Structure 1
Amino acid sequence: MVDGAGSIGGELSPVLEVGKSLAAPIWRQFMYLYNYSTNFKRLEKEVKKLKNTRDEVQHKVIAAQRNVEEIKQNVKDWLTDVEKTITEAEQLIQEKANNPQCFKRLCINYKQNKKAFKLKREGIDPLLQKEKEFDQVSFPTIPQDIWLRSSEDYLAFESRTSMVKNVWDALNDENVYMIGVYGMAGLGKTTLVQEAGRKAEKDNLFEDIVFVEVTQNLDIEKVQTKIVEKLSIKFSNETERANKLYERLRSGKKILLILDNIWEDIDLKTIVIPSKMDRGGCKLMFTTRNLDILEKMGSTNNFQLGVLEEEESWNLFRKMAGDVIQTHELNSLPNDVCKECGGLPIIISTIAKALKNKSHPSDWKVALRELRAPSPTKFMGFLEKEYMKMAFKL
């Protein structure tokens, strides 16, 4: 078999002995002509190898994408180059097939032969070699929390415009460390701070935004663990976890930490949250039912959330209930039910959604009766399931 230098078994063939005595440019042309068939066979073999390698990489890419991982840019570029090279090689091979070689009639295409040789050496070989350098085709990403995605249920109420603006101004004020939103259950405190977080994320106000629901039975370790996980902090033991969390929060990077549904004043040191003097770029936002809790924790930028005005309540109820409220047989029942919700957005949304497909007056009368019932029987019965879905958000 003749190698790239034109030798057979390490010795030059008689034909090549003649060619060797020719001038260098003529020698190279002679070599291209002599290895015409060999070069195309090698090209076809390498194209097949490149396709198999491409398929293997693409399988890895698909698996990584399904695992919500980000594909490395050099892998994307490699795949693009591979497709271009394969297309070029296949076109060249097809051209050869359309013009079979014929030594007697001197119809060997010198240019085709030269392209085949160079395409393998300068195109395919480097691509195959580069693929070996891919230790991984992707790297893990941090999926965006569901609450940070746009919410179709959020409505901007005119009666809250001023209050929302004050919260936003506090978020933008670097001198403000703590922000509190307080008010009775069902006002939508969680919804409001989450919307503020979404806007802050969209405007790149913070590098990281962490939302943690505290709940009534405070579990310090659980809260700390959630914060660490959402900041993607790696640790080997509890001491390292606490130390790394503290350093991350005071690192100077802008981090918004939202602690939702606080039932009692929390000693932030137990969660390893820095004090105001040592906070770096960290900012805290709380939601709670009681102003006293915020004041005990040292929060001075606190904003009260009130009930909705009557027109706002009805607009929200109508949006959530849909066209069923226009059912003639219901008469004034939709308005009566809405009024009994007391201007509380969460209750309005929950009840309206529960009645969305209920066109029979009896269902609305049951809802009205349960809304008027004294606590703790309120929201029991057929509304219990719907209401309990929202109970921990109140």
Structure 2
Amino acid sequence: MDAVDLAIVEIGKCVLNPLKKHMGYLIHFNDNVKDLKDRVEDLVAKREHIDQRVSTGCSNGEEEIGEVKLWLTRAVHMKEEAERIEQRVAENTRRLFCSNLSWRYSISKEAKQAMESISKHCNEGNFMRVTMPPLIPKVINQPAPSIKGLPSVESSFEKVMNALGDENIKIIGVWGMGGIGKTTLVNNVNNRLEGTQKFNKVIIVTASKDVEIRKIQGDIAYRLGLTLKNETSRATDLSNRLIKEKPFLIIFDDLWERLDLANVGIPSINSLEGCKILFTTRSEDVCRGMESEVNIKVEALSDDESWKLFKEKAGDVVDDPSLHTKAREVFKECGGLPLAIITLGRALRGVRNSSVWDNALSQLKRSAPSDIKDMERSVYQSIKLSYDHLRVELKPGFLFCCLFPEDYDIHVDRMIKLWKGEGFLEDGGSLNETINKGHTWVEELKSSCLLLEGKDEGYVKMHDIVRDVAISISLKEDEHYKSLVRAGVGLKGLINWEEYKRISLMRSGIDKLPKGMHCPRLLTLMMSENKELTEIQGWVLEATIELRVLDLSITTISRLPPSLSNLVNLRVLCLRKCIFKGTCLSALQGLKQLESLDLSRNKYLHELPTEIGELVNLVSLDLTETWHLSIVPSGIISRLTHLEELKMWKSFCKWEVEGKDASSSSNNSATFGEVASLKELSH
């Protein structure tokens, strides 16, 4: 073949190949449209799979990767474009003939190109990970009242900021009496550091009284995104991680005694450039023990500052000519203590009855209990006054909160059920109505500064001074609410058990109940979070026939004594995170008045005991995270005709379906129909 022939062949290829491609759009019209539909189905399936992975990751606290988010967005657009092409085909089926070759060519070409784009996009969607742990912020903004317009507080604030800016100062102490505003001060310091480059990490840890080093380590590690897996090297692992995070600032709020930083896992501050420790305490002795270079005392507010704060909280009623003088006298009794001013101002907000103000002034001038010295007498009287101004029905609920340990995050919904068990919320309404009413109470207590926001949503806590006052009230002011609170402190000394109606031994470190614990008047017994407690002696329950609330959660009790069935007045039984097996719960059958039973997170509970079916008045049953619960015998659930709440997240899932072939059914397992038959069930 000579050069001319070769040239002709090449020219033919240049002409015929493109022609062949374009003719293919006409010839393969139906194939292209069908292939596009198939590829869209593949795209949808892949997108749903990735969506599910993203949802799972996000539910575990991770964040969607940007590349994945972009892929999912493009997938939606591609699907929409393909659907438009399919719609055009569907609307023009009568025109799919050679008489409209131009339209046929155009649609086929678009379908082919869309199919190729979708195929490529599907291949690009093979992600190893679709979510990632969130970036740990340098500073987490803390809720804190503004200190603007309070010169004495602003002065303390500037002293702290100046000390943080001094390279020669490593440890800074902030001290003052309880309720003086130390936490507000350091929270404002934390928030001021947000957006600055001063520290790579600012970490706030609430130390509080009797706090364990292990908890402090856990709080710091959580803030760093670190898991301390090895119990023998927690301090070392934490220290190594902190060195990588330098420069850092760790704020220890509410220290009650010297804290050994090395035991916690804080590396030597003096050897780390830019790293600092800031702490708050009620005692100057703690400052000395911590060897802080600078100690900043938070003083009481001046009269002008106190009046400004009091007026803000009490409202314009203080400007009423008939009350102004009394109001000036009342706020001065607060001694410049912010907690007292805020609490008292809110208690008297909008009150225009002169007699109420006279009574308030009279109460504030009375002597406080002998164990509350100096300024704390004013704090007690202020908080007691706020308590006195509560609606009568809220008072027992408030006092009940002191049964929890100091600085304890109280789960609101659980507490409301305890309130109901005690009879505080008896109104004949549904569980949902009770929960709503309980939340209303909680909001009122928070508004009066008698409860504070907890660490997480759905939790509250008590300020330590408010809790001390509540304990004092429950012991001395009202015989009906007399409580023994040894939560977090253990049992010491002789105790006259018979006089108490409520006893809290939460986190008290006990491994058994003391001999002679005879409590005929007892209504509530809280013994949760005693991991060494392996049994509850039968004779204890035999002597507590009036008991209405019993909490044994987070203990190692493995069997309930038969005498439990004698507690005919018991309304609430909490066995959360225990180690019970189904056969160890036979004593439940006698609890005919039981309304709330919490068996959540019992990892050894394999079979739901049939005795639960005897609990005819049960309103709430919590089986959350009973991972190994594999047997729920038929007929138990359907007998709980008053049940309004059944929690089974991450629990039993082998429900039978009525009408199923008997040969493929166990005929011994609970059915969906049993749940459906519960007419009161709403949760």
- CA distance in structure 1 between the aligned counterparts of 2:360 and 2:19, rounded to whole angstroms: 97
Q: Do 2:343 and 2:383's aligned partners in 1 also have CA atoms closer than 8 Å? A: no
Structure 1 residue 153, shift from structure 2 partner: 5.1
SS in 2 for 1:233: coil
CA 1:288–1:340: 2 relative to 1, 3 Å: same
Structure 1 residue 129, shift from structure 2 partner: 2.6
CA 1:296–1:118: 2 relative to 1, 3 Å: same
1:383 and 2:386 aligned? yes
Structure 1 residue 357, shift from structure 2 partner: 5.2
Paired residue type of 1:229: Y
1:125 and 2:125 aligned? no
* Aligned 1:35-50 pairs, distance under 5 A: 35-50=28-43
1:260 and 2:253 aligned? yes
- CA distance in structure 2 between the aligned counterparts of 1:265 and 1:201, rounded to whole angstroms: 28
Q: Do 2:33 and 2:86's aligned partners in 1 also have CA atoms closer than 8 Å? A: yes
More helix, by proportion? 1
Structure 1 residue 120, shift from structure 2 partner: 0.8
- CA distance in structure 2 between the aligned counterparts of 1:364 and 1:57, rounded to whole angstroms: 65
Moved more, 31-40 or 213-222: 213-222
SS in 2 for 1:23: helix
CA 1:229–1:89: 2 relative to 1, 3 Å: same
RMSD across aligned C-alpha pairs, in angstroms?
3.1
- CA distance in structure 2 between the aligned counterparts of 1:127 and 1:337, rounded to whole angstroms: 73
1:186 and 2:179 aligned? yes
1:369 is aligned to 362
SS in 2 for 1:141: coil
Q: Do 1:102 and 1:108's aligned partners in 2 also have CA atoms closer than 8 Å? A: no
Q: Do 1:215 and 1:262's aligned partners in 2 also have CA atoms closer than 8 Å? A: yes
- CA distance in structure 1 between the aligned counterparts of 2:71 and 2:86, rounded to whole angstroms: 22
2:239 is aligned to 246
Number of aligned positions between the proteins = 372
Which blocks of at least 5 consecutive residues in structure 1 are unaligned?
1-19
**Which is bigger in relative contact order (C-alpha 8 A, separation at least 6)?**
1
- CA distance in structure 1 between the aligned counterparts of 2:283 and 2:124, rounded to whole angstroms: 62
Paired residue type of 1:116: A
1:306 is aligned to 299
- CA distance in structure 2 between the aligned counterparts of 1:104 and 1:249, rounded to whole angstroms: 77
1:83 is aligned to 76
Paired residue type of 1:86: K
Structure 1 residue 328, shift from structure 2 partner: 6.6
1:279 is aligned to 272
1:72 and 2:65 aligned? yes
Q: Calculate the TM-score normalised by the size of structure 2.
A: 0.50
Paired residue type of 1:103: C
Q: Do 1:216 and 1:262's aligned partners in 2 also have CA atoms closer than 8 Å? A: yes
SS in 2 for 1:109: helix
Paired residue type of 1:127: H
- 1:265-293 Cα offsets, whole Å, 9 max, x none, are 23322222222333354310011223332
Paired residue type of 1:111: S
CA 1:247–1:278: 2 relative to 1, 3 Å: farther
1:31 is aligned to 24
CA 1:82–1:57: 2 relative to 1, 3 Å: same
* Aligned 1:316-327 pairs, distance under 5 A: 316-326=309-319
1:270 is aligned to 263
Q: Do 1:249 and 1:280's aligned partners in 2 also have CA atoms closer than 8 Å? A: no
- 1:175-213 Cα offsets, whole Å, 9 max, x none, are 321111122332201110111011112324322222112
Structure 1 residue 80, shift from structure 2 partner: 2.0
- 1:197-243 Cα offsets, whole Å, 9 max, x none, are 11112324322222112223242232222222222222222223211
1:110 is aligned to 105
Of 206, 209, 217, 1:224 maps to: 217
Moved more, 102-111 or 184-193: 102-111
Paired residue type of 2:44: K
1:195 is aligned to 188
CA 1:201–1:237: 2 relative to 1, 3 Å: same
SS in 1 for 2:98: coil
Structure 1 residue 295, shift from structure 2 partner: 2.8
2:163 is aligned to 170
2:503 is aligned to none
SS in 1 for 2:63: strand
- CA distance in structure 2 between the aligned counterparts of 1:291 and 1:283, rounded to whole angstroms: 19
Q: Do 2:313 and 2:346's aligned partners in 1 also have CA atoms closer than 8 Å? A: yes
Structure 1 residue 68, shift from structure 2 partner: 4.6
- CA distance in structure 2 between the aligned counterparts of 1:59 and 1:354, rounded to whole angstroms: 51
- CA distance in structure 2 between the aligned counterparts of 1:35 and 1:372, rounded to whole angstroms: 97
Q: Do 1:341 and 1:348's aligned partners in 2 also have CA atoms closer than 8 Å? A: yes
- CA distance in structure 2 between the aligned counterparts of 1:108 and 1:225, rounded to whole angstroms: 68
